[in-house]
A and B are shown apart, each in its own frame.
Chain A
């Protein structure tokens, strides 16, 4: 049992509060050119992800990695969430997991 390095649920707005920490976010891919992937966060802001292989545009990718700045994440693990995903609900989970129910997550 090891809860020493959780990944914080973030959207673009929450990312800036966790720079340097391990985070997880879902990104709707708009551009993917090898090293840098650009996409929309679940709260409709632009995010940059480094270290992803080529991913198909318009797919949702969950990225877990270190927040390098308030707009970019360096990916360690990623999962393709497919083309249909409820970003709004995920966004709400981000807000709840960092707010009222932080104790269940971090």
Chain B
């Protein structure tokens, strides 16, 4: 019952330009956004994005960009201050958004040969993983390749933007709100969140990330019915009042009522329009 409405919402939203296909199965054990992206490969980022990345724990833990765990990144920029030693080669990578330290460990012959080609001021693509060392973020590179076709530079920045949008839309796809409701007076900044306002959904929905879509209207109806004022009403609350107060269309309220009733969380009182919470408050 609920899954059909979920699918309707998705197809209604299909024109939006983002594919929610991975996110729309309302499984019970949907992993959190960070975990589901663990095997993501190289993430294209700008140095600015890296500088703003937070770490989920201590120095050994993963970096988080856009709410997603990121370890391996790809960056395109210019090489400066290259310093070669026996054990490693260090350099600064400047991609126009910032400068960051990079280090390439000379583990094999290949590493040495590759790094010898890299000259000061050259545009390169660096693939590596992010590390924190004494409070400073560093890139430990395992691949440094000169850029020969400079459309690659343009491409990289477009790639960063694309990845940024994808991450944001997937993060939002997992938050429990039907797309049609975004434009109602719930006013959670979901679809409008492209400008970097990575806000959590409204307080009633916080912490509900794990279950896809199940708890939006349902939770609000339940919360309303569990308020002391509602519990105090012997007759229960009329569904029209729920619709008015929560600002959902009546059909939506009825859907939520049906699923909450099935869960045994609410029950009808004097007629099929009045409901009360089964909890005693």
Q: Which residues of chain A have a CB within 8 Å of any CB of chain B?
A: 1-3, 6-7, 9, 24, 60, 62, 64, 77, 79, 81-82, 85-86, 89-90, 92-93, 96-97, 100-101, 103-106
Query: Is the pair B195, A85 in contact by a Cβ cutoff of 8 Å?
Result: no
Interface residues of B in 92-125 (CB under 8 A from A): 96-101, 121, 123
Is residue B83 contacting chain A, with contact meaning CB distance below 8 A? Answer: no
Is residue B164 contacting chain A, with contact meaning CB distance below 8 A? Answer: yes
Bound-state CA distance A15–B99 (Å) is 23
Is residue B161 contacting chain A, with contact meaning CB distance below 8 A? Answer: yes
**B12 contacts across to A, CB distance below 8 A:** none
Q: Using an 8 Å CB-CB cutoff, how does the interface string of B129-152 with A read, 1 for contact, 0 for none?
A: 000000011000000000001110
Q: Chain B, interface size: which category? A: 20 to 34
Query: Is the pair B48, A100 in contact by a Cβ cutoff of 8 Å?
Result: no
Evaluate whether A105 and B151 lie within 8 angstroms (CB atoms) in the complex, with A2-B98, A6-B98, A7-B96 already known.
Answer: no
Query: Is the pair A24, B96 in contact by a Cβ cutoff of 8 Å?
Result: yes
Q: Which residues of chain B have a CB within 8 Å of any CB of chain A?
A: 46-51, 78, 96-101, 121, 123, 136-137, 149-151, 153-155, 157-158, 160-161, 164, 194-196
Partner of B100, one of A1, A6, A82, A106: A1
Evaluate whether A86 and B161 lie within 8 angstroms (CB atoms) in the complex, with A64-B96, A104-B49 already known.
Answer: no
**A103 contacts across to B, CB distance below 8 A:** 48, 195-196
Nearest-Cβ distance from residue B213 to partner chain A, whole angstroms: 27
**B49 contacts across to A, CB distance below 8 A:** 104
Query: Is the pair B51, A3 in contact by a Cβ cutoff of 8 Å?
Result: yes
**B157 contacts across to A, CB distance below 8 A:** 9, 93, 97, 105
Query: Is the pair B151, A93 in contact by a Cβ cutoff of 8 Å?
Result: no
